């Protein structure tokens, strides 16, 4: 039996992010996909990679902490793909690109990247690695072997699963939480040698040029992912969750997302305009819309920031005025998840979920 052809981006895109901690069992997966269809979504952004760990049986990286770093006895991605297609939904493999680990403690398994390849992470000029903390520590995209490793995971996914696309997240220098990180990383000897080889300069000789070169190393990963998808799964889409504002995304994290979209490397950007403030949401999405020459911008709504359902309605109305595209972060702000079995949400949180679903239903019915 041949492979199922990928479904292109619909008009409009009605997407929802389903995170790796939302599902633990086959029953969770089936319920999530059924609920995604019931709330009117047509695209599921299903997380497959988090922090140098994955949520499918991989030959390259270990299972995530959500599954105790062990095979849970089923393949969540295969089941999610089957369930989504049965219900007429598209599904994209949501892939955290640069993170290599998260949290204040080292991984408890030896084959995780932080233990197996500590040299692949960001280091400063003194050779000190980006410190652990309550944030992601990231891989160094300037190293060719790091880029090859990341792309090999995408290749593994699109070669084995009938996903309709790949959805990149954290495709930036995600050095959040580390003071002066942009000035400090990466400054290891090898990265500086690679920069010298390409430019004949040192970072402080030309700071804008150093920024541009580092940004280009991320873009090289995006290009390689695009080429891998085109070869392994022709017709599958490539989308990206990007910083809420394109200028800030480049200034703070060297994310050149507008170039990716305008050049056709990616099919759509999903700006994470996560705020309860209508004016800020409108300004951030408007900044992208002005720069991309009519290409696809799918506004990302941070439902978890909304204190009232009217805030959700206001942002959905803007989305409707822009053509109807939206992406919702995240599923747990709308429906129960595996986490509810550990920590039961308050009555207020459950009621807010219901009100948000009602707001979506009204928009979907139009």
Say if CB 21 and CB 66 are below 8 A apart. Answer: yes
pTM of the model: 0.98
**CB-based contact 241:270 (threshold 8 Å):** yes
Hey, what's the torsion of the CAs at 127, 102, 132, 193, to 10 degrees?
A: 10
CA atoms within 13 A on the CB side of 363: 27
| Per-residue CA distances from 253 to 96, 170, 176, 212 (Å) | 15, 10, 9, 11
Domain spanning 14-100+141-174+206-365: which superfamily?
Answer: Glycosidases (3.20.20.80)
Q: pLDDT grade, residue 279 (50/70/90)?
A: very high
**Mean pLDDT across the stretch 261-287?**
98
Residue 1 has pLDDT above 70, yes or no: no
pLDDT over threshold 60, residue 366: no
156 CB-near residues (< 8 Å, 6+ apart): 58, 59, 60
pLDDT above 90: residue 177? no
Cα distances (Å, whole numbers) of residue 196 to 124, 126, 205: 17, 18, 11
Whole-angstrom distance, CA of residue 304 vs CA of residue 42: 21
| Residue 363 banded pLDDT, cuts 50, 70, 90 | confident
φ/ψ region of 40 (left if φ > 0, alpha if ψ in -120 to 50, else beta) reads left
The yes-or-no verdict on residue 364 having pLDDT over 80 is no
pLDDT tens-digit readout, 60-118:
999 999 999 999 999 999 999 999 999 999 999 999 999 999 999 999 999 999 999 99
Token code pair at residue 259: 């170039």
Q: Which residues, 6+ apart, have CB-to-CB distance to 256 below 8 Å?
A: 215, 216, 218, 219, 250
Question: Average pLDDT over the chain, rounded to whole?
Answer: 97
Percentage of the chain modeled with pLDDT above 70: 99
pLDDT tens-digit series, residues 239-266? 999 999 999 999 999 999 999 999 999 9
Show the tokens assigned to 355.
């009100």
Q: What is the pLDDT of residue 365?
A: 67
pLDDT digits (tens, 9 = 90+) for 301-335: 999 999 999 999 999 999 999 999 999 999 999 99
Domain ranges, ordered by start, for the chain = 14-100+141-174+206-365
Q: Sorting pLDDT into bands at 50, 70 and 90, what band is 152?
A: very high
Instruction: Please tell me the distance from the alpha carbon of residue 284 to that of residue 302, in angstroms, as a whole number.
Output: 13
Average pLDDT of the residues in 187-210 = 98
What is the pairing mode between strands 268-271 and 296-297?
Answer: parallel
User: What does the alpha-carbon distance between residue 131 and residue 121 come to, in Å, rounded to a whole number?
Assistant: 10
Please tell me the predicted confidence (pLDDT) of residue 11.
97
The pLDDT assigned to 300 comes to 98
């Amino acid at each position: 039996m041949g492979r199922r052809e990928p479904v292109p981006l619909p008009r409009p895109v009605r997407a929802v992010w389903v995170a790796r901690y939302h599902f633990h069992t086959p029953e969770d997966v089936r319920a999530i996909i059924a609920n995604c269809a019931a709330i009117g979504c047509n695209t599921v952004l299903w997380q497959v990679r988090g922090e140098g760990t994955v949520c499918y049986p991989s030959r390259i990286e270990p299972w995530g902490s959500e599954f105790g770093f062990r095979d849970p006895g089923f393949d969540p991605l295969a089941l999610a793909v089957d369930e989504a297609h049965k219900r007429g939904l598209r599904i994209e493999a949501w892939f955290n690109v640069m993170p290599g680990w998260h949290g204040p403690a080292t991984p408890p398994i030896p084959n995780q990247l932080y233990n197996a390849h500590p040299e692949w992470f960001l280091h400063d000029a003194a050779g000190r690695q980006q410190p652990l903390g309550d944030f992601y520590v990231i891989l160094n995209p300037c190293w060719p072997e790091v880029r090859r490793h990341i792309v090999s995971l995408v290749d593994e996914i699109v070669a084995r699963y009938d996903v309709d696309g790949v959805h990149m997240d954290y495709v930036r220098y995600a050095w959040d939480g580390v003071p002066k990180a942009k000035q400090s990383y990466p400054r290891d000897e090898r990265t500086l040698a690679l920069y010298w080889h390409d430019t004949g300069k040192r970072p402080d000789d030309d700071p804008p040029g150093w920024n541009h070169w580092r940004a280009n190393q991320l873009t090289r990963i995006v290009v390689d992912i695009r080429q891998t998808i085109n070869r392994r799964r022709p017709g599958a889409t490539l989308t990206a969750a990007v910083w809420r504002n394109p200028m800030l995304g480049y200034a703070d994290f060297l994310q050149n997302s507008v170039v990716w979209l305008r050049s056709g490397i990616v099919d759509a950007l999903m700006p994470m305009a996560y705020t309860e403030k209508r004016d800020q949401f409108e300004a951030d999405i408007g900044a992208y819309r002005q720069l991309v020459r009519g290409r696809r911008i799918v506004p990302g709504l941070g439902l978890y920031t909304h204190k009232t359902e009217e805030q959700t309605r206001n942002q959905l109305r803007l989305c409707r005025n822009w053509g109807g595209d939206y992406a919702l972060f995240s599923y747990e702000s709308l429906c129960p998840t595996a986490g509810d079995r550990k920590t039961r949400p308050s009555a207020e949180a459950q009621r807010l979920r219901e009100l948000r679903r009602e707001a979506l239903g009204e928009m979907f019915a139009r």
